[in-house]
Amino acid sequence: MPSALLKQVEAAVRQYCEQIKNSPEARLQSRKAFYKKYGDASHDGKMGLGNSELAFMTWEARTVLQPKTGSMWWSAVNLHFIYLSELGAQAREAGVPTAELPVPAQLWVQFIDEPGSRSWYRAHNASIIDGYLRYPNLAGRETRPEQIFINMVLYRLLYAQALVEGVDSIFPKLGRILGNPRGDAVAFITHLDGYYPAHYPMNQHEIAMVLGKAHNLEELGVRILDDVLIEPELSTLYEQASAWNQQPALMHFIAGHRPAYPDGIPIPHERHGCFIGMLAAIYRWMLRGASHIIVKIRNKANKPS
């Protein structure tokens, strides 16, 4: 049973979210204010640990959060995300015991107390996953290409977290750069239509990019990221992410080693060609070889002298 104090904070946060609900700009300003207070923001306009989130949310504000033309699913998930982070922050300031809060809000408290890349990813991704869990009915109203894209966004986010969580990689320095929430990688990638469409609903060219049918250089970059680097280890990624983010129900979003949100039906692989399949096989071989070497080095380092 929630305490009276927690109920009071919850009501205040719900009212706050209602006030910013219909304005993408107000949502953006809300997150900027949050990171100025808690994200180690600087005086040069950088938002510290909020840089990558705000870059992504700027893309959302241009496209899926537009009040008249945007997506009900994207809007609901984004607002729920804001609610959970504000709930954690305001509950902490009001003195609500952390254990009374839902898990994502607890992780935001941990982030505020110990800010860093890992604590940020756990708070952020737990909140996003919570939104996916909360609104599968709205996702079900999206077109199939939009649903495929929603799955792509999720596994790219989990992959970025894996780079920070210390999962073995054959490119560890590159991983730390790409996964760093302080960096500019997300700001760059969200301006590439192949990765993040410029329109909602997507136009025919953007749908072709998502389905792997555009046959251009930008699509090749997308396929290398998704099909070569991420998808061969997708089941392991979701399993690990469910533990990092304390969201065991994340495993409902994958079936038969394929993304399966929102209905549990695996999304067929429409994009593999011989070249991409060969690259994926080579990458798996390199990754496993690198993992064996890393394990040997760790065992040697931990061996008593």
Report the candidate in 132, 125, 93, 95 with the shortest Cα–Cα distance to residue 107: 125
CA atoms within 13 A on the CB side of 257: 7
Whether the CB-CB separation of 121 and 175 falls below 8 Å is answered with no
pLDDT of residue 237 exceeding 90, the answer is: yes
pLDDT digits (tens, 9 = 90+) for 74-120: 999 999 999 999 999 999 999 999 999 999 999 999 999 999 999 99
Structure tokens at 245: 């983010």
Local confidence band at 46 (pLDDT 50, 70, 90 cut-offs): confident
Q: 188: how many CB neighbours lie within 10 A of its CB? A: 11
CB of 202 closer than 8 Å to CB of 210: yes
* Secondary structure class of 247 (helix, strand, coil): coil
* Across 121-138, average pLDDT: 98
Q: Which residue has the higher pLDDT, 279 or 56?
A: 56
Q: Is 43 helix (H, G, I), strand (E, B) or coil?
A: coil
According to DSSP, residue 45 is labeled S
DSSP string computed for 70-134 = S-HHHHHHHHHHHHHHHHHHHHHHHT--GGGS-HHHHHHHHHHHS-SHHHHHHHHHHHHHHHHHH
pLDDT, the chain, mean: 84
How far apart, in whole angstroms, are the C-alpha atoms of residue 133 and residue 184?
29
Domain that holds residue 12: 4-302
User: What distance in Å separates the CA atoms of residue 129 and residue 158, rounded to the nearest whole number?
Assistant: 10
Residue 75 contacts residue 64 (beta carbons within 8 Å): yes
Q: Does 169 have pLDDT greater than 90?
A: no
pLDDT > 60? residue 135 = yes
- How many domains does the chain fold into? 1
Can you give the pTM of this predicted structure?
A: 0.86
**44 pLDDT more than 90:** no
Residue pLDDT, tens place only, 208-219: 888 877 666 566
Q: Can you tell me which residue has the tokens 């609903």?
A: 201
